[in-house]
């Protein structure tokens, strides 16, 4: 192996380690926050759906299967320009 390839490999490992540390901190900090509860109880699903449509995010990434069924009406009503 050349020196350049070893340096590149070390940089890749360092970047992966940095990402894993960040994920660990995020997971630890979010232990006390019930993100799903606020999404279900406090946010109008039309706002979330409009955001998904505007930014081309599949709503499967935001809502699980049961919430998709529950908020199917929001998908039909809200467009990317929906304003609450």
pTM of full prediction above 0.75: no
The catalytic residue among 5, 28, 41, 42 is 42
Each of the 84 residues of the chain gets a pLDDT tens digit; together they read 789 999 999 999 999 999 999 999 888 877 776 666 666 667 788 888 888 888 998 888 888 888 888 888 988 888 888 777
Measured CA to CA, the distance from residue 10 to residue 72 in angstroms comes to 47
Give dist(CA 25, CA 19) in Å, integer.
10
15 tagged catalytic: no
């Amino acid at each position: 192996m050349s020196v350049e390839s070893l340096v590149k490999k070390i940089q890749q490992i360092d970047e992966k380690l940095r990402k894993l540390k960040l994920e660990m901190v995020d997971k630890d900090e979010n232990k006390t926050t019930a993100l799903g509860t606020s999404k279900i109880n406090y946010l109008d699903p039309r706002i979330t759906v409009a955001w998904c449509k505007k930014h081309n995010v599949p709503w499967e990434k935001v809502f699980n299967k049961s919430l998709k069924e529950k908020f199917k009406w929001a998908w039909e009503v809200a467009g990317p320009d929906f304003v609450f």
